[in-house]
């Protein structure tokens, strides 16, 4: 930790008002690392100036949005300033006729969706905890859910971004261009970079209309191999589904969840096709209520719904005996992956649940003593990487022995380091938190 000098404190207070800077409390720690001060800039220029002052003093700066995913990644190697984007919360422009929106990084996803819904539109993403998660945090963590199958990842929806580089430069790229950084596609570059390249201050997204109606179904199957066959067949069919996921656990038979959106007549036709499909596959089908949470039915979010399954994985009462990992595999390896998890977890006495999207992205929860979790995750990561997959641990017990959150970066690490050095040469932003200790 680099002590923050009285001169630097005075310089920061010359930029920020008294209520925008305060000593950090124990509640502000990041993965057990305690910063010295918290700052809350109210404008992009304030943020950029404060960041430049910190960079000139070679301080470590940790960006924070809604803090819903602040524990993801490795613990920072240093933490001096916690930089909150909470006051950068404006929806700058909703060009509803063009299906675009420009929004500041500190705006919550729920607030954004409610505003867009007034014109019958949405940002077609379904991140965790939208009432807390901010635009900047969701982009930095690249957090998307089941809707990714139909509407694409965040990198497909973002069309412009403004970021504050460590040296205080405000750089924009893509839609609504003010200044370009030649050679870099900033919107895609900063999405998923965990705030290590720059602090996102605003973003421009393309939008989609809100669906008139939606309808969900759950297909019961007897084993992972049957689940894989049905999922691949659905993907190869003419069904116009919006989301498709499967759920597995050590204690229950698998189920497949499928979501449709559209008019009532269109949904009736889709339901009829799906019933015929399941009948030929000799699988049982049930319609699900309530429907997925939207801004118009958010109060129903506590009711059982398969589209809350990802948040349900995080609903554990004992953080010291639970781990959450994000995995990626080929869709054709679904059954093999489930069997691998079973063969690794059961000898380690780890209880497990898995949510796997049709894209091959999945979320795994393991429950057991910290030592058992460490052994199971180490083995599982090694086997998944042999299959061409990956495993990133997003939550692990505090008392678990050292375990890198990301796993092997493969041959991409030199390029990642070169980009980091170019944009943040002093490693001011989130040092040590990302892949390869970046």
pLDDT of residue 292: 58
pLDDT of residue 182: 53
pLDDT of residue 290: 52
State both tokens at 108: 């919550």
pLDDT of residue 391: 98
283 confidence band (pLDDT: 50, 70, 90): confident
More confident residue, 4 or 371: 371
CA atoms within 13 A on the CB side of 361: 16
For the chain, list the domains and their CATH numbers.
Answer: 8-86 (3.30.43.10), 91-209 (3.30.465.10), 213-309 (3.30.70.3450), 314-411 (3.30.70.260)
**Angstrom distance (rounded) from CA 294 to CA 300:** 9
Burial class, 405, CB count within 10 angstroms (exposed 0-12 / middle 13-18 / buried 19+): buried
Above 80 in pLDDT, residue 207? yes
pLDDT of residue 406: 96
CA atoms within 13 A on the CB side of 240: 9
Predicted TM-score (pTM) of this structure: 0.93
289-294: Cβ within 8 A, 24+ apart: 291/214, 291/215, 291/216, 292/126, 292/214, 292/216, 292/243, 292/259, 294/113, 294/117, 294/122, 294/210, 294/214
More confident residue, 287 or 122: 122
Burial class, 179, CB count within 10 angstroms (exposed 0-12 / middle 13-18 / buried 19+): exposed
- Would you state the torsion angle of the CA atoms of residues 249, 251, 254, 255, taken in this order, to the nearest 10 degrees? -90
Above 90 in pLDDT, residue 277? no
pLDDT tens across 48-105, in order? 999 999 999 999 999 999 999 999 999 999 999 999 999 999 999 999 999 999 999 9
**Angstrom distance (rounded) from CA 200 to CA 106:** 9
pLDDT of residue 288: 73
Residue with tokens 């049905």: 230
Average pLDDT over residues 234-239: 94
Number of neighbours of residue 418 by Cβ within 10 angstroms: 10
Q: For residue 170, which of 40, 81, 45 has the smallest C-alpha distance?
A: 45
**Angstrom distance (rounded) from CA 390 to CA 409:** 9
**Angstrom distance (rounded) from CA 289 to CA 132:** 25
Handedness of CA 25, 29, 34, 40 (dihedral sign): negative
279 confidence band (pLDDT: 50, 70, 90): confident
pLDDT tens across 317-339, in order? 999 999 999 999 999 999 999 99
Alpha-carbon distances of 214 from 77, 211, 261, 277, 304, rounded to whole Å: 46, 7, 4, 19, 16
pLDDT tens across 382-413, in order? 999 999 999 999 999 999 988 999 999 889 99
State both tokens at 376: 């199971």
């Amino acid at each position: 930790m680099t002590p923050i000098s009285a001169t630097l404190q005075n310089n920061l207070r010359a930029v920020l008002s008294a209520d925008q800077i305060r000593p950090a409390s124990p509640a502000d720690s990041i993965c057990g690392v305690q910063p010295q001060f918290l700052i809350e800039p109210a404008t992009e220029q304030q943020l950029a100036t404060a960041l430049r002052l910190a960079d000139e003093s070679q301080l470590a700066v940790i960006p924070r949005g809604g803090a819903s995913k602040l524990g993801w990644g490795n613990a920072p190697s240093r933490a001096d300033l916690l930089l909150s984007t909470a006051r950068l919360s404006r929806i700058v422009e909703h060009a509803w006729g063009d299906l675009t929106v420009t929004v500041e990084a500190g705006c919550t996803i729920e607030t954004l969706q409610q505003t867009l819904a007034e014109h019958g539109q949405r940002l077609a993403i379904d991140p965790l905890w939208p009432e807390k998660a901010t635009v900047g945090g969701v982009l930095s963590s690249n957090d998307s859910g089941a809707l990714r199958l139909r509407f694409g990842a965040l990198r497909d929806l973002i069309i412009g971004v403004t970021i504050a580089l460590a040296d205080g430069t405000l750089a924009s790229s893509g839609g609504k261009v003010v200044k370009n950084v030649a050679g870099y596609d900033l919107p895609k570059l900063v999405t998923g970079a965990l705030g290590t390249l720059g602090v996102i201050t605003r973003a421009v997204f393309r939008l989609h209309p809100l669906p008139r109606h939606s309808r969900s179904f759950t297909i019961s199957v007897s084993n992972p191999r049957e689940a894989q066959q049905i999922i691949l067949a659905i993907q190869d069919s003419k069904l116009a589904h919006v989301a498709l996921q499967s759920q597995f656990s050590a204690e229950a038979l698998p189920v497949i969840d499928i979501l449709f959106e559209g008019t009532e007549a269109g949904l009736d036709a889709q339901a009829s096709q799906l019933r015929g499909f399941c009948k030929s596959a000799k699988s049982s089908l049930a319609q699900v209520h309530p429907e997925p949470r939207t801004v118009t039915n958010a109060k129903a979010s506590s009711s059982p719904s398969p589209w809350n399954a990802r948040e349900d994985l995080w609903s554990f009462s004992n953080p010291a005996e639970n781990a959450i990992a994000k995995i990626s595999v080929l869709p054709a390896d679904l059954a093999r992956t489930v069997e691998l998890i079973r063969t690794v977890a059961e000898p380690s006495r780890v209880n497990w649940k898995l949510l796997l999207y049709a894209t091959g992205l999945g979320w795994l929860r393991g429950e057991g003593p910290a030592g058992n979790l460490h052994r199971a995750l180490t083995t599982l990561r090694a086997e998944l990487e042999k299959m061409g997959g990956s495993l990133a641990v997003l939550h692990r017990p505090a008392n678990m022995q050292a375990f890198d959150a990301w796993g092997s970066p493969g041959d991409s690490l030199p390029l990642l380091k070169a980009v980091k050095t170019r944009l943040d040469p002093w490693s001011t932003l989130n040092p040590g938190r990302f892949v390869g200790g970046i």
